[in-house]
Chains A and B, each alone.
Chain A
Amino acid sequence: MSATAHPTPVHSDSAAYKLGTTYPDVPYAEKERLFGEMKADERFADYLYGCYECGICVAACPSARYYDFSPRRIAQAAAREDVELIYQQMQEDIWDCSQCFSCLRCPRGNNPGGIITVMREVAVNNGLDSARQALRGYTRIIYKIMSTGTQVSPDMLQADAFPDWGPSVAKVSEKLDLWRRALPPDTHHTTTTGWEISTKTLVELYLIWHKTGALAMIEELDPSLHSLLEEVMEDLLDEEGYELD
C-alpha cells in the first residue's frame, strides 16, 4: 500500500548515486522474496509481536532526531507485511539506525532495532545497493581485519594522517618501532599490526569467516576486495595445509 513512487534505476557506481535518494526498483515478487528471507530468520518472531503505534520507540531513538527515520515505521511495515515499503526501507531507512536498541523499551515487547539487524543481513546477503553503498567506507577496515587479524595498527600514526590527533603524532611516528619495543609484552613489538598474529590464528579466523558466510557476503558486496583477500590468504592456507571448497 506504499504511496511512494520508486525512482528510476541508476547504476550503483554512477556518480549520481547517493544513498537514500535513488536505487533500482525490482519486481514485486523479488520484494516478496526478500521479505520472505526476513520472516524466515529465526529471530524474527521474537523481534516482532504487534504494533499499536504508540511512538515510544521513536521518542527513544537518537537517529530519529537527526534523520527522517522511524523505528515505528519499521515495525509497522513488517507487521503489515507491506513488501513495497519494506523494500524501500531496506534501501534507505535501515542504514539510519545506530543499532543502540533504545527502542527495546517497546511496551509490546517488539525489537525494531532487531528487525533492522535482520533486514540489514538480508540486504547484505542479497547484495542490495544500499548495503554496498553503506559498507563502502569499510573496505579498508575489512581488508585489514581479514588479512592481518587486527584493525588498528601503530603505523596508522603518521604525521599527516590524522591532524586532529595533535602535534605529538608527528614526533611519535618518527620512532614508532622504538616506542613499540618499549612496551613490556613481546607481542606488542609490532608496527604493521596491533599485535603479533600467528599464521595459525590468521588461518583459523579466515576459516571461520568462510564457514559463517562472512566471506560470501563480501564476495557479493565487493568482488575485488574478495579476490584481493583470496590472493593474500592463498599461501597462508597452503602453509597450514588447508584447501577451501
Chain B
Amino acid sequence: MSESVVVIGGGPAGIEAARGVADLGLPSILIEQRERLGGTPIFANYAALTPYFEDAEQAMDAMIAELNARPLAEVRTNTTVTGLSGEAGAFTVELSTGESLEAGAVIVATGFDHFDPGRERQIYNYYQYPDVLTLQDLEAQLKAHEVLVPSTGKPPERICWVQCVGSRDRNIGNEWCSKVCCGIASKQAIEVREMVPGCRAYIFYIDMRMYGYWETQLYWPAQEKHHVQYIKGIITEVLERGDRLVVRGEDTTMGRPLEVPMDMVILSVGMEPSAGTKSMAGVLGIEPNRYGFIEAAKPPLDTVSTSRTGVFACGAALGPADLEDTISSAGAAAGKAVALVRRGTLQTV
C-alpha cells in the first residue's frame, strides 16, 4: 500500500492538484515532461490571464513557489510516465527514468494543445501569410508589450479575430466548443485597443460564448469602452490584395456580404487533447472520449473520476476548460484521490 499520489503534468491543473494533495496531508509526486513547471501559460507565452488580466508568468511563478514550499510535495521534471500497474491503493507507476514509484492514486493533468490551423483546409493561409497569427502568437507580442504587423514591423491599423478556428467543425472532426476563445479574443482586443489606440478591432464570430461574469468582465467593456466591433459571421477566407490582407465573410445581421482589408488576422484557435493527454489514456489504461480527451466516468456530479478506479483526471485533459474550472477540478481531483487513499488505508487495518 502507498499513501503517495502521483500527479502527471506540471501545468496549472497539475500544480494545483499536487498542492492540494500535500495540503490534505499526503505526499504528492508531480511528474513533468518538460524541464520546468508552468505548462501552457508559460510555454505558449501567455501575457495576461483571462478574465482578470493578471500577468501569467507572475501568477504561475507564485503558484510554483507555493508548491515548492510544501515539504510533502515532490517534483520530477524531464520525466514522463511510461506504465501503470496494480490497483487503487497500490499502484506502481513506471517512469521514463527507469525508476518506478508506489502510489495509492494517480491524477492526470496533461492538458490541451492549441489547434494547429495548418491542419485545417488552409482557408486562412496561416503558414503562407506572415500576418495571419494565432491567439498564442499574439500573446507573445502582448507579453513583449509591442503589437506589430510581422511583415511591416509597424503597429496595425486594422486587426481582426476569427473565432472557432478548429472548434465546432464537423469537417475537421473537432465538434466541441473550446469555451475560452471568445473570452481570450475579447481580452486581446481590449489589450490591443489599449496598446494601439488608433487600431480598429473586429471579432468575427458564430456565437459569442461569454458565460457567467465574462459578459461584464470582457464582452460589454470590449464593446462599450474599447469599441471592439463584433460581427456575427465567420470569415470564409483570408486573401492577399496588394500588401494588405483582405478577409471575406458575411455580415449576417446586417444582411450583406463583406470584404474588408486587415493588417493582422488572429485565428482564435481552439483546444485539442494534448499529445500527453492522448498518450496517457493508453499508458494508464483509461477511457478517452470520442475526441481524445479523458472521459469523466461519472458526470455530472463526479467530474474527475475516470474509467479506472484510483485514476483521476482534471483540467483541460478532460476537455476544454478555462483556468478557473481547471483549478476547481484539480482541487476536486486532489480531494477524491486523498479520500480514496485514506479509505484504502483504513480498510487494511
Q: Do A and B come from one complex?
A: yes
Tell me whether A120 is interfacial, beta carbon within 8 Å: no
A residues near B59, Cβ cutoff 8 Å: none
B residues near A51, Cβ cutoff 8 Å: 223
Q: Contact between A50 and B220 (Cβ–Cβ < 8 Å)? A: yes
- Residue of A50, A51, A72 with highest tally of chain B CB at under 10 A: A50
B residues near A31, Cβ cutoff 8 Å: none
B residues near A138, Cβ cutoff 8 Å: none
Q: Contact between A49 and B223 (Cβ–Cβ < 8 Å)? A: yes
Contact with B along A63-97 (1 / 0, CB 8 A): 00000000011001001110001000000000000
Given A1-B251, A1-B258, A76-B254, A49-B220 contact (CB < 8 Å): yes
Q: How large is the interface on A (under 10, 10 to 19, 20 to 34, 35 or more residues)?
A: 10 to 19
Contact with A along B245-270 (1 / 0, CB 8 A): 00000010110111010000000000
Tell me whether B279 is interfacial, beta carbon within 8 Å: no
Comparing B42-50, B123-131, B187-195, B224-232, the segment that makes contact with chain A is B224-232
A residues near B219, Cβ cutoff 8 Å: 52
Q: Contact between B224 and A49 (Cβ–Cβ < 8 Å)? A: yes
Which residue of the partner chain B has the closest CB to A2? B256
* Secondary structure call for the A interface: loop
How far is B215's CA from A108's CA once the two chains are assembled, in angstroms? Answer: 11
Q: How large is the interface on B (under 10, 10 to 19, 20 to 34, 35 or more residues)?
A: 10 to 19
How far is B254's CA from A53's CA once the two chains are assembled, in angstroms? Answer: 10
Chain A contacts with B in 25-75, Cβ cutoff 8 A? 49-53, 72-73
Contact with A along B231-245 (1 / 0, CB 8 A): 010000000000000
Closest Cβ of chain A: how far from B209's Cβ, in Å?
12
Q: Contact between A81 and B227 (Cβ–Cβ < 8 Å)? A: yes
Closest Cβ of chain A: how far from B109's Cβ, in Å?
35
B residues near A85, Cβ cutoff 8 Å: 254
Tell me whether B208 is interfacial, beta carbon within 8 Å: yes
A residues near B260, Cβ cutoff 8 Å: 1
How far is B249's CA from A172's CA once the two chains are assembled, in angstroms? Answer: 66
Which residue of the partner chain B has the closest CB to A3? B256
A residues near B253, Cβ cutoff 8 Å: 53, 72, 76
Given A3-B256, A3-B258, A52-B224 contact (CB < 8 Å): no
Q: Contact between A50 and B232 (Cβ–Cβ < 8 Å)? A: no
CB pairs A–B below 8 angstroms (24 shown): A1-B258, A1-B260, A2-B256, A3-B256, A3-B257, A3-B258, A4-B256, A49-B224, A50-B220, A50-B223, A50-B224, A51-B223, A52-B219, A52-B223, A52-B230, A53-B232, A53-B253, A72-B253, A73-B254, A76-B253, A79-B227, A79-B229, A80-B229, A108-B220
Task: Spell out B's residues near A (CB within 8 Å).
Answer: 208, 219-220, 223-224, 227, 229-230, 232, 251, 253-254, 256-258, 260
Additional A-B contact list (12), CB under 8 Å, known A3-B256, A79-B227: A1-B251, A2-B256, A3-B258, A49-B224, A50-B223, A52-B219, A52-B223, A53-B232, A72-B253, A76-B253, A80-B229, A81-B227
